[in-house]
Structure 1
């Protein structure tokens, strides 16, 4: 924590003592009254204590009370401005409405309601006893406040850092971590913050709908933060430099699947013999061993599947994979592009150059969905043109997959059901606006959710679009994968899946939640005989491993692709090269 943020402010009290008619102010602990002493055991004068308070954080030697606290540098913010800023974060409240509320009820009263009891704020009444907010306005604010918390104290510092430095281990009884899989990464700030809080709590409960993403190391850092003692007992601990990377690799090797790849090349002739050069590198593969499940998962985990309560609470759920044939010209262009890029990639790999791997994979996955634009593939280093594919479809000419989407939307609209469409291409190869234009041309009201909409306002933004009567919502699945209940969209269509198992599993369940009354249908669309089907096949295998960790045999729409018992070592790149 930066020193300009964390300024020590001594909280010891002063006691006056008379010694030979002189008054001496000494520093004592404010909790137990113990007189503070220096290294030599001499009573510490108050001015001396204060002089050294900014250099060292001190604690009472008797009871352990921290003799410092946080003090935000600079002048404190105006209360009215702070409350106004908080009010403007709520849906339907702008600066003018916020000023009107502050004038009528006072900043302190509104701040107290927002911090302590938001429902008092939602049910706010004027002098005549009338509710200030209408039903629809109150409903939107209530949904927003369900995922938002206001505090009007001193800010500007990381709360977990203060907890780490100020409070003793086991200070709290229970830590509840929602969406626990979001804290699995090694170097993420939120993961480290979760570890700090877990150390300060006697018990920790992690809630997640996706325990792992198919690889054993998905669980390592979660286990390290939640079950530190058990991991250390098993020998998984930081090295002398404080790094957990060797421990993570050892965990992966013991409980996961690692592939050691040996490459032998002719190193030429020596004076008396010929020599070969052997290179070895290690890659991880999907899989988690039964020993790891029995040791780290089963003793500490309670599994509750949505289908366990679906009999009376949740409607039916169905997933389907639809393989869409490409148009004739589109297929010819794709095969030409695939052959050309595969040859280039093979030649580069033969020289030990892997820079083309990601480029080729991305192009072969994306081009069938982006055949409405010219595709120029250049070498990432030299900039040389590797391949060129001209556009096949016009601006308002739908491709086969888009025709299939229009057909699905037409069927759903006839049943009075709204459709949520996922597309991962929202950057350079933006397909969302094109899909919106095509759907509008067919008479569908549609909207595109962009990343520019603040995370805390996305649910309210979607509710506003529903109020406007949209038939189709288009977005990247990353934007809605957690924290949103999209009950208004019982039909979900994946135009692409991407590689992230967490995203696919979370995004596919956005509308199959408690409160849903209609049957939920999820469709995965992929062009037949392309890299897209290979990608979906690999995703199916990773999902199978992920679900088997919780004792679940997957029966999803993607699982029809997972018929190979030895599928753990299948990789998308090898399939493309083959």
Structure 2
């Protein structure tokens, strides 16, 4: 039978499958090729640039973004694509063989040009291997310098030697971190070192500063922005690990920017915010944001001020790159590598919503696409990773459900009933305020009625399920001659626990935000020397910057809104230098809002692990 071209095309499509199902085999001439394919290709106009040490984003040139058709994987020439574009038949003669042509491919051959891409967009396309074209996600392929840059980023760097000026021995994973930071900063791409607390991010950055001075001839100073509580720690570690390198504080009365060549200037987030203009007027080789979760809100005055300080290299340090949602990750990486993830609105639409919605059909695909884009710019190592810190002892985490006492239960019900009646008639900001007030009240009732009722000096025993369990835990821990950290987010609750332990003649000490720095240091020494076995700490004031390895137990008396902050608090005890197993106890009031908070924290932890793992 002679076939018309339309019949031939139908036979190549679904008709062959239906014939096959009916037991009719279809044989085709061997020379009939059906392997014509199309990919969106990104080409850089200039050779080199990405791999010769020139910062990639310094290039002002736009990259061409076109459809490229290929036969059996071999790209067609422009002339061959022209011939294809002009054909109006389903079978075309190409390279001495007959080729079956999908009408969709003919359209792509006719309208080859997809536009121009800026360097940032082009890099995002290269890393994910996909692009959005007319609302559809298509395969995208980088070529030339862009492909070389992608390979450098995904293959990772060769390990560097320890800089000669560094008075410290770096572990293998710290040397790898140094090499990675050097690669990213030398390409002008910046990076976020997101290692767990206690894995030595500070010493890695000091080594990077020395390496850039020694091997890249950098002479401008490095600016470190950190919380006020960590200024002393940075100064001590620079003096200890890089003796002879000038270090100045730009804070309080000591606002000194005269570092001399190649030194460090240390400042706080608060001072940086008010003095951004002075800092922006100076030349910096590198800007480092420590505990960078402080700028996770891109619209805050602190985050906006940090963006105004220019530097050829930007490094964010944080053990918690995702605390609540993926917008925080966008904020960090948009500072280290501006534009990488696109505008926040489109990032949320393209990546975050699909990833954060666990029931979404495309969830796994979205997670993988975002991971490919983010992974090269974020280095994360956890204490649980094999071979990271084999000398760390095991850590056990336990949730302890506790019942409410009769007094707690009746207070809880009364507050829910009363506040819900007010919420039903309120709207807008007033309604949201009432909901926040309700949550806070319920959490305080779960802790102890005396905290909610603001009772001072009242009887505390036999009124709270949590306090009764804490007594039990402390009895066991102290009988074994152990030491324990007790964290609570409320200073008022910390004071009640302190008063209760004093009443029971158990030696303890209390640290909160108003504790002066010299007294903090004395408290740490007393605890570490075994003088005081129970250390009560407010979560926000003591969740970072303290080394409390004497503790074999950590108690979270109440739950914070995200697991990353709790983990950082636990890491006061579970860090390098710890020799005993660490047990983490989380107290949760059964059948209350605390059960729901525990579920939410599990979901947040899963979100962070999915994208960063």
TM-score, scaled relative to structure 1: 0.53
Higher normalized helix content (fraction of residues): 2
Aligned to 2:436: 358
Superposition pairs for residues 140-151 of structure 1, below 5 Å? 145-146=236-237, 150=248
For the Cα contact (< 8 Å) 1:488–1:511, is it kept in 2?
Answer: yes
Deviation at residue 345 of structure 1 after TM alignment: 2.3
For residues 533 and 486 of structure 1, the distance between their equivalents in structure 2, rounded to whole angstroms, comes to: 29
Which is further off, 329-338 or 185-194? Answer: 185-194
Aligned with residue 512 of structure 2, among 419, 427, 450:
450
Q: Note closer, same or farther for the CA distance 1:142–1:226 as it changes in structure 2 (3 Å cut).
A: closer
1:183 aligned to 2:295?
Answer: yes
Residue-by-residue CA offset, 1:496-546 (whole Å, 9 max, x unaligned): 122144422311222110110011111110111111221222122112212
For residues 502 and 351 of structure 2, the distance between their equivalents in structure 1, rounded to whole angstroms, comes to: 51
For residues 468 and 350 of structure 1, the distance between their equivalents in structure 2, rounded to whole angstroms, comes to: 52
Q: Secondary structure at the match of 1:186?
A: coil
Deviation at residue 289 of structure 1 after TM alignment: 4.3
For residues 594 and 364 of structure 2, the distance between their equivalents in structure 1, rounded to whole angstroms, comes to: 22
For the Cα contact (< 8 Å) 2:248–2:256, is it kept in 1?
Answer: no
For residues 207 and 194 of structure 1, the distance between their equivalents in structure 2, rounded to whole angstroms, comes to: 14
1:322 aligned to 2:400?
Answer: yes
For the Cα contact (< 8 Å) 2:461–2:467, is it kept in 1?
Answer: no
Aligned to 1:205: 315
Q: Note closer, same or farther for the CA distance 1:422–1:351 as it changes in structure 2 (3 Å cut).
A: closer
Deviation at residue 328 of structure 1 after TM alignment: 2.9
Aligned with residue 336 of structure 1, among 386, 411, 414:
414
Aligned to 1:408: 473
Aligned with residue 368 of structure 1, among 446, 454, 479:
446
1:463 aligned to 2:525?
Answer: yes
TM-score, scaled relative to structure 2: 0.51
Which is further off, 313-322 or 491-500? Answer: 491-500
Q: Note closer, same or farther for the CA distance 1:374–1:406 as it changes in structure 2 (3 Å cut).
A: closer
For residues 144 and 407 of structure 1, the distance between their equivalents in structure 2, rounded to whole angstroms, comes to: 41
Q: Secondary structure at the match of 2:583?
A: strand
Residue-by-residue CA offset, 1:478-501 (whole Å, 9 max, x unaligned): 112222222122211111122144
Deviation at residue 346 of structure 1 after TM alignment: 3.2
Aligned with residue 251 of structure 1, among 347, 351, 361:
347
Q: How many matched pairs?
A: 349
For residues 161 and 361 of structure 1, the distance between their equivalents in structure 2, rounded to whole angstroms, comes to: 40
Which is further off, 433-442 or 402-411? Answer: 433-442
For the Cα contact (< 8 Å) 1:326–1:400, is it kept in 2?
Answer: yes
Aligned to 1:64: none
Deviation at residue 466 of structure 1 after TM alignment: 4.3
Q: Secondary structure at the match of 2:396?
A: strand
Considering only aligned residues, what root-mean-square deviation do their CA atoms show, in Å?
3.7
Deviation at residue 373 of structure 1 after TM alignment: 5.8
For residues 190 and 313 of structure 1, the distance between their equivalents in structure 2, rounded to whole angstroms, comes to: 38
For the Cα contact (< 8 Å) 2:405–2:465, is it kept in 1?
Answer: yes
For residues 430 and 464 of structure 2, the distance between their equivalents in structure 1, rounded to whole angstroms, comes to: 38
Q: Note closer, same or farther for the CA distance 1:175–1:164 as it changes in structure 2 (3 Å cut).
A: closer
1:534 aligned to 2:596?
Answer: yes
Deviation at residue 462 of structure 1 after TM alignment: 2.0
For the Cα contact (< 8 Å) 2:393–2:582, is it kept in 1?
Answer: yes
Q: Note closer, same or farther for the CA distance 1:541–1:153 as it changes in structure 2 (3 Å cut).
A: closer
Q: Note closer, same or farther for the CA distance 1:468–1:521 as it changes in structure 2 (3 Å cut).
A: closer
Q: Note closer, same or farther for the CA distance 1:374–1:459 as it changes in structure 2 (3 Å cut).
A: closer
For residues 290 and 533 of structure 1, the distance between their equivalents in structure 2, rounded to whole angstroms, comes to: 27
Q: Note closer, same or farther for the CA distance 1:288–1:496 as it changes in structure 2 (3 Å cut).
A: farther
Superposition pairs for residues 125-524 of structure 1, below 5 Å? 145-146=236-237, 150=248, 154=256, 161-167=277-283, 172=285, 174-188=286-300, 190-192=302-304, 194-197=306-309, 199-201=310-312, 203-231=313-341, 234=342, 236=343, 248-257=344-353, 289-290=366-367, 293-308=370-385, 309=387, 312-348=390-426, 353-372=431-450, 375=453, 394-397=459-462, 399-426=464-491, 430-454=492-516, 458-467=520-529, 469-524=531-586
Q: Note closer, same or farther for the CA distance 1:190–1:457 as it changes in structure 2 (3 Å cut).
A: farther
Q: Note closer, same or farther for the CA distance 1:195–1:486 as it changes in structure 2 (3 Å cut).
A: farther
Deviation at residue 344 of structure 1 after TM alignment: 3.3
For residues 312 and 416 of structure 1, the distance between their equivalents in structure 2, rounded to whole angstroms, comes to: 26
For the Cα contact (< 8 Å) 1:256–1:288, is it kept in 2?
Answer: no
Q: Secondary structure at the match of 1:205?
A: strand
Deviation at residue 257 of structure 1 after TM alignment: 2.6
Q: Secondary structure at the match of 1:411?
A: helix
Q: Note closer, same or farther for the CA distance 1:291–1:160 as it changes in structure 2 (3 Å cut).
A: farther
For residues 452 and 326 of structure 1, the distance between their equivalents in structure 2, rounded to whole angstroms, comes to: 31
Q: Secondary structure at the match of 2:370?
A: helix
For the Cα contact (< 8 Å) 2:508–2:534, is it kept in 1?
Answer: yes
Q: Note closer, same or farther for the CA distance 1:470–1:288 as it changes in structure 2 (3 Å cut).
A: farther
Deviation at residue 301 of structure 1 after TM alignment: 2.4
Q: Secondary structure at the match of 2:501?
A: helix
